[in-house]
Amino acid sequence: MKPNVVFLDFTYYKGEQNETIVKELAYIDLCGKIGFKSSFSAPYSVDNLDDKTQYMVKWCQKYLHTLPFNVGERPYLEMNKTLLKLICSLASNSIIYVKGTDVGNRDERIVLII
């Protein structure tokens, strides 16, 4: 049986305690040709971030997704539930390729096989 190929893409920042804050999540299922995109409001103010991350947030806001850090389609508390719902809806033969903001800075590629 041919595997179901899925791509997940994240735009995210490192938070005040080095945690990952997902700003945008995009998903496409190439076999079913299903797409999904959502943005999340941040769990706290941009002022709580270090200077380098604040600069990146402002750059992304101006040139990439135009969303202020504290604005999103969904509250941040729904991010985990949204991602889990997407993953649980996949066929059992799915291969998930995951890409994030800093994938170019790493030699590793993240691939999940369900």
DSSP 31: T
**Residue 11's closest CA among 20, 22, 1, 3?**
22
What is the second-level CATH architecture of the domain 4-113?
A: 2-Layer Sandwich (3.30)
Residue-wise pLDDT for 14-57, tens only, equals 888 888 888 888 888 877 677 888 889 988 888 988 898 899 88
Predicted structure pTM score = 0.73
1, pLDDT greater than 80: no
105, pLDDT greater than 70: no
pLDDT band for position 75 (cuts 50, 70, 90): very high
Strands 94-99 and 34-39, by their bridges, are unpaired
